[in-house]
């Protein structure tokens, strides 16, 4: 991946200045430390910070077509570029590099904006069509690569990160979008299209934006597919698993394309173990793997990593994320996220990518997307059990199912009582299409009790859930329960949090590109046609993926109890809150000055945590959420100035403006 940035204005309305574009590119240096490029036209400026992975010598950007009438900048990868290039060369197109980026301008010449439908990849790109004076922006189907935009005084700006937009000096001082903050404390992230900053927008996954002399036009070109019952596959799980295995081999193989070494993250779970096994068996026996360790056994998966590393014979490297290091690194992570976070889980991923980069690795294959696509999350199983309990309240199987779902909770009588109350509390909401997630969102929303009276007043009458409902597909209410749950998880949690705060932002903070083979759209399309009963068989999650890997992985891995990736919150901050930085951040004066939280309630929460040594899960999320919101406000919203830096020495500079 790289960093892209640009400015557009309608012909005759203004002039593009390098002085505005240069600081935007400079703000993305961490994403693309290898080369810098710029293209200037009277109506457009394109900037690029390159992380060189393919065609290291001649693949710099911006890249144009043969007659230099179409130009592009790309963040990400076009994995099927070789097939597309062969097709385009047969039609007479001439290529001057070996990079995947060059395919974009030539396919745009052939297919126009429909080119985006042909790409298999992870991307955010801009195309400048000079003859038609049109700027075309596109983002990949799943939102693996970020892209943001804003408009002010006739200037449209876009960039890979919000901080680059703010560096342009063309936008007014940033202001908090309070509704987006409410969304974070409901869904863990802003809804697609929103950011924490007023009038700064995210280009949604699977969308394009066209800017020309007419009105700006947003278009959705892809959405997560849904198949009604009559269109589902009638094949056996074994047959489906065979097809998935062949697709996974290809999806993994094309994601290993690079002129630099490609590593693999290995947690010891099913997803990363399966991918690494495919790499070792079919592509590269010398692949280097990387995994996270934690001080506390509650979070640590080290023994499973070591088991898989020994089984595969790979060169495995481990990094231990200590509690103190998590607390120390947290503010820097928030700066990269550009949004509050309710978990510390992104922090170890930040530390891991730094560790990987220091080992000389720029690219890693990762297991993101497998839980969403194959049905691996507890929230999916929980929804199915809750539905069964609601429909069959007298069934003798009820207690056994509840205990199977969360055995750790049933170790105490109090845990059993609380969980049964939770399961039964919303049985009347069974017909609600948001049934699978409403309990989670309601639980998270309890943190909003800590909002200040002013913020609560400003949000009076607003509902984040109602806003979400307005964006759902027309047929959403008619879909089966698992399909509804998967769609909500894929479009909100995955694209807005997992692939962003915990994914792209943490990897690209150190110039490392993540490549998730499970998010190949061909795999997603096939899994959308699999009957829900085969995705979760009884309470056996990811049944098809386990079938896929049954002859690839040891039984101890395919049958192990799923351990979700988590990182410590309370243990990380206990003992660190007394530091001068956190003490000032949480002081009554600072809380009052920023005005988003109630000082007395916040003080009570942190005193409780320090006095008891621990609080509940929701209170733990409140700790992370309050700290990250206060930090974000200090970093972006309190008039912080951008430090001056040396002028960029452009590796590529094209200036087509008239003097």
- CA dist 612 and 600 (Å) reads 18
The C-alpha atoms of residue 43 and residue 524 are separated, in whole angstroms, by 39
Report yes or no: 22 and 648 within 8 Å, Cβ to Cβ.
yes
577 CB-near residues (< 8 Å, 6+ apart): 583, 586, 606, 610
341: which 2 tokens? 């976070």
Task: State CA 597 to chain mean position distance.
Answer: 27
The verdict on 71 and 212 lying in the same domain is yes
* 338 located within any domain: no
- Low-confidence residues of the chain, pLDDT below 70? 393-394, 396, 398-399, 408-428, 578, 639-645, 659
266 and 312 assigned to the same domain: yes
Predicted local distance difference test score (pLDDT) of residue 387: 83
Range of the domain at 483: 378-487
CA-closest candidate to residue 321, choices 353, 287, 289: 353
Among 518, 532, 490, smallest CA distance to 245 is for: 518
Q: Look at the chain and report how many structural domains it folds into.
A: 4
Structure-block tokens of residue 383:
């929804």
Q: What are the tokens at 94?
A: 């001439």
421's tokens = 């109350």
Helices and strands per DSSP (H, E), number in the chain: 28, 18
* pLDDT for 107: 99
**Average predicted confidence (pLDDT) for the chain:** 93
Res 385: pLDDT: 87
Could you give the CA distance from residue 62 to residue 37 in angstroms, rounded to a whole number? Answer: 6
Helical H segments across 489-633, by residue range: 505-508, 521-528, 532-535, 543-548, 555-558, 570-573, 580-585, 588-594, 599-612, 617-632
Domain end position, chosen among 222, 239, 266: 222
Query: CATH number, domain at 553?
Result: 3.40.50.620
Q: Is residue 342 part of a domain?
A: no
Q: Which two structure tokens, joined as six digits, stand for 518?
A: 């499970």
Say if residues 253 and 522 touch (Cβ distance below 8 Å): no
For the whole model, what pTM was predicted? 0.95
DSSP string, 592-605: HHH-SB-HHHHHHH
| Cβ–Cβ under 8 Å, residues 351 and 344 | no
Cβ neighbours around 411 below 10 Å, total = 11
With H, G, I as helix, E, B as strand and everything else as coil, classify residue 303: helix
Q: Is there a contact between 10 and 154 (Cβ–Cβ < 8 Å)? A: yes
- Do 548 and 435 belong to one domain? no
The position carrying tokens 């008891």 is 612
Beta bridge partners of 208: 138, 219
Regarding whether 512 and 446 lie in a shared domain, the answer is no
246 and 215, same structural domain?
A: no
Distance, first Cα to last Cα, the chain:
34
Nearest to 352 by CA among 377, 315, 312, 325: 325
CATH number of the domain within which 187 lies:
3.60.20.10
By C-alpha distance, which of 101, 149, 153, 152 is closest to 127? 101
User: H or E stretch including 105?
Assistant: helix 102-111
Rounded to whole angstroms, the Cα distance separating 451 from 465 reads: 18
Entry field: residues in the chain: 659
Last residue of a domain, one of 222, 247, 267: 222
Q: Indicate whether 453 and 516 sit together in one domain.
A: no
pLDDT at 401: 72
Q: Residues 5-44, buried b or exposed e (16+ Cβ, 10 A)? A: bbbbbeeeebebbbebbbbbbbbbebbbbebbbbbbbebb
Q: Give pLDDT tens digits for 366-375.
A: 999 999 999 9
Q: Quote the DSSP letter at residue 229.
A: G
Q: Quick one: DSSP state of residue 411? A: G
Contact (Cβ atoms closer than 8 angstroms) between residue 444 and residue 464: no
Whether residue 440 sits in one domain with residue 406: yes
Identify whether 568 is part of a domain: no
| C-beta of residue 255 within 8 angstroms of C-beta of residue 279 | no
Q: Are residues 536 and 584 in the same domain?
A: no
In this structure, the answer to whether residues 14 and 117 fall within a common structural domain is yes
Q: How far apart are CA 134 and CA 8, in angstroms?
A: 9
Instruction: List Cβ neighbours of 82 (8 Å cut-off, separation of 6 or more).
Output: none
User: What would the pLDDT profile of 280-312 be if each residue is shown by its tens digit?
Assistant: 999 988 999 999 999 888 899 999 999 999 999
pLDDT for position 560:
87
Identify the CA nearest to 177 among candidates 459, 429, 447. 459
Of 209, 205, 210, the residue nearest 192 (C-alpha): 205
**Same-domain pairing of 112 and 13:** yes
Q: Is residue 280 part of a domain?
A: yes
Name residue, tokens 């849904």.
Answer: 226
Among residues 418, 420, 414, which one has the least CA distance to residue 400?
Answer: 420
Assigned domain for 120 exists: yes
Pick from 166, 197, 222: which residue ends a domain? 222
**160 and 128, same structural domain?**
yes
Q: Going by DSSP bridges, is the β-strand pair 262-265/288-294 parallel, antiparallel, or unpaired?
A: parallel
Contact 243, 534 (CB under 8 A): no
Residue 504 resides in a domain: yes
What is each CA distance from 443 to 70, 145, 612, 627, in whole angstroms? 50, 30, 22, 19
Structure tokens at 533: 């009963």
Domain annotation covers residue 343: no
Considering just the CA atoms, what is the radius of gyration of the chain in Å?
25
Burial class (CB in 10 A: 0-12, 13-18, 19+), 616: exposed
Q: How far is CA 574 from CA 569, 571, 582, 624, in A?
A: 9, 5, 11, 12
Return the ∠ at Cα 303 (arms to 248 and 381), rounded to 5°.
Answer: 55
On whether both 515 and 597 belong to a single domain, the answer is no
Q: Is residue 647 part of a domain?
A: no
Strand 363-365 vs strand 262-265: parallel, antiparallel, or unpaired? parallel
| Residue whose C-alpha is closest to residue 130's, from 47, 43, 22 | 43
């Amino acid at each position: 991946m790289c960093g892209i940035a640009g400015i557009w204005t309608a012909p005759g309305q203004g002039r593009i200045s390098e002085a505005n574009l240069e600081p935007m590119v400079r703000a993305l240096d961490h994403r693309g430390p290898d080369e810098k490029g710029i293209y200037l036209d009277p109506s457009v400026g394109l900037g690029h910070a390159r992380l060189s992975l393919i065609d290291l010598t001649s693949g710099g950007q911006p890249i144009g077509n043969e007659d230099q009438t179409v130009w592009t900048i790309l963040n990400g990868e076009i994995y099927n570029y070789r097939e597309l290039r062969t097709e385009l060369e047969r039609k007479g197109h001439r290529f001057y590099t070996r990079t995947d980026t060059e395919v974009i301008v030539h396919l745009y010449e052939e297919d126009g904006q429909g080119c985006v439908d042909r790409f298999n990849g992870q991307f955010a790109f801009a195309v400048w069509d000079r003859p038609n004076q049109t700027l075309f922006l596109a983002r990949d189907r799943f939102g693996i690569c970020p892209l943001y935009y804003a408009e002010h005084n006739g200037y449209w700006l876009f960039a890979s990160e919000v901080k680059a937009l703010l560096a342009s000096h063309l936008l007014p001082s940033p202001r908090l979008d309070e509704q987006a903050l409410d969304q974070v404390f409901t869904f863990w992230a802003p809804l697609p299209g929103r950011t924490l900053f007023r009038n700064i927008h995210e280009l949604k996954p699977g969308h394009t934006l066209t800017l020309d002399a007419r009105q700006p036009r947003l278009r959705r070109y892809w959405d997560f597919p849904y198949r009604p019952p009559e269109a589902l596959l009638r094949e056996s799980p074994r047959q489906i698993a065979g097809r998935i295995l062949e697709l996974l081999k290809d999806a993994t193989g094309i994601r290993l394309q690079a002129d630099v070494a490609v590593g693999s993250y290995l947690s010891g779970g099913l997803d990363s173990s399966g991918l690494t096994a495919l790499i070792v068996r079919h592509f590269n026996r010398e692949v280097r793997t990387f995994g996270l360790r934690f001080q506390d056994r509650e979070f640590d998966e080290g023994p499973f990593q070591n088991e898989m590393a020994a089984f595969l014979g790979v060169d495995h490297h481990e990094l231990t994320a200590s509690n103190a290091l998590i607390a120390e690194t947290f503010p820097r992570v928030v700066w990269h996220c550009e949004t509050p976070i309710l978990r510390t889980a992104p922090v170890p991923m930040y530390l891991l990518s730094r560790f990987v980069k220091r080992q000389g690795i720029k690219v890693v294959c990762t297991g993101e997307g497998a839980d969403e696509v194959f049905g691996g999350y507890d929230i999916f199983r929980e929804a199915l059990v809750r539905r069964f309990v609601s429909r069959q309240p007298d069934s003798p199987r009820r207690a056994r199912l509840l205990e199977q779902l969360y055995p750790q909770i049933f170790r105490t009588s109090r845990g059993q009582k609380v969980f049964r109350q939770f399961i039964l509390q919303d049985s009347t909401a069974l017909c609600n299409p948001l049934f699978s997630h409403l309990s989670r969102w309601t639980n998270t929303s309890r943190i909003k009790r800590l909002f200040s009276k002013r913020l609560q007043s400003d949000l009076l009458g607003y509902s984040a859930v109602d806003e979400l409902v307005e964006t759902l597909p027309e047929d959403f209410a008619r879909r089966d329960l698992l399909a509804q749950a998967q769609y909500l998880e894929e479009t909100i949690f995955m694209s807005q949090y997992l692939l962003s705060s915990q994914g792209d932002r943490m990897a690209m903070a150190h110039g490392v590109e993540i490549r998730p083979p499970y998010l190949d759209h061909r795999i997603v399309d096939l899994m959308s046609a699999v009957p829900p009963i085969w995705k979760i068989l009884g309470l056996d999650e990811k049944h098809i993926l386990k079938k896929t890997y049954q002859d690839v992985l040891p039984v101890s891995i395919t049958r192990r109890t799923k351990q979700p990736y988590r990182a410590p919150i309370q243990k990380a901050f206990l003992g660190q809150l007394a530091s001068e930085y956190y003490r000032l951040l949480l002081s009554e004066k600072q809380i009052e000055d920023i005005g988003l939280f109630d000082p007395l309630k916040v003080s009570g929460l942190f005193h409780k945590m320090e006095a008891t040594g621990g609080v509940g899960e929701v209170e733990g999320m409140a700790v992370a959420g309050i700290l990250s919101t206060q930090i974000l406000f200090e970093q972006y919203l309190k008039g912080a100035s951008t430090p001056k830096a040396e002028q960029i020495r452009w590796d590529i500079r094209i200036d087509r403006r008239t003097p």
